[in-house]
Amino acid sequence: MKNLVVPIAALILVALVGCGPSAEQKKMVADLTTEVTSMMNDAKSSLGDLDKAAGDITTSLSGADSLMMKYPKGTEAINGAVTQLKSAKDRLMSVKDNVSSWINAYKAPDLTKMKFDQVIADLKKNKDELTTATSEIKGALSAASAAIDGYKNVASTLMSKVAAKTPMKKK
């Protein structure tokens, strides 16, 4: 009986040690966590780009009223550009709110409190959500840029038409 105590204790110890994640599993979790963290940091830094684009839209919108007063015949084109600017700004703010909320609610899965498979599933889900968020950020920034360019094009077209009709003064 004494001879069996040592082997049984060793088997219990091996069973307990073997229940935890392997070194390979820990590395896999660490690598995926690093990737998700990097993506999240990129998304955070993009929030500033969203704010800057929204500010640029606000600046463009502030000039629209004076543009309409100067060029009443261009009201339809100006209104179209203003509608695009407002839509782009709404999209920017919506994406910013969604991404900010996601980032604030994020909690990294903990391998010490969860099973390996669940940690990996959560990390992959987070990675997919961040990929979607990144696409939404890029799309919103692209739409904002196009709206700003469209407004600038309308403004410069109106100004150039008036400049072409204005006779030059002789010296």
DSSP characters over 32-97: HHHHHHHHHHHHHHHHHHHHHHHHHHHHHHHHHHHHHHH-GGGHHHHHHHHHHHHHHHHHHHHHHH
Q: Which structure tokens are listed for 59?
A: 């600046």
Q: Look at residue 7 and tell me if it is in a domain.
A: no
Helix (H) or strand (E) holding 127: helix 116-165
Longest dimension (CA), the chain: 121
Answer yes or no: is pLDDT of 104 > 60.
yes
CATH code of the domain containing 77: 1.20.120
Q: Look at residue 116 and tell me if it is in a domain.
A: yes
Q: Look at residue 6 and tell me if it is in a domain.
A: no
Q: Look at residue 140 and tell me if it is in a domain.
A: yes
Q: Does pTM top 0.85 for this prediction?
A: no
Q: Look at residue 152 and tell me if it is in a domain.
A: yes
Number of domains in the chain: 1
- Give the percent of the chain with pLDDT over 70: 83
Q: Look at residue 22 and tell me if it is in a domain.
A: no
pLDDT digits (tens, 9 = 90+) for 5-33: 445 544 444 444 456 788 999 999 999 99
Q: Look at residue 149 and tell me if it is in a domain.
A: yes
Q: Look at residue 25 and tell me if it is in a domain.
A: no
Q: Can you give the pLDDT at residue 15?
A: 46
Domain that holds residue 112: 33-164
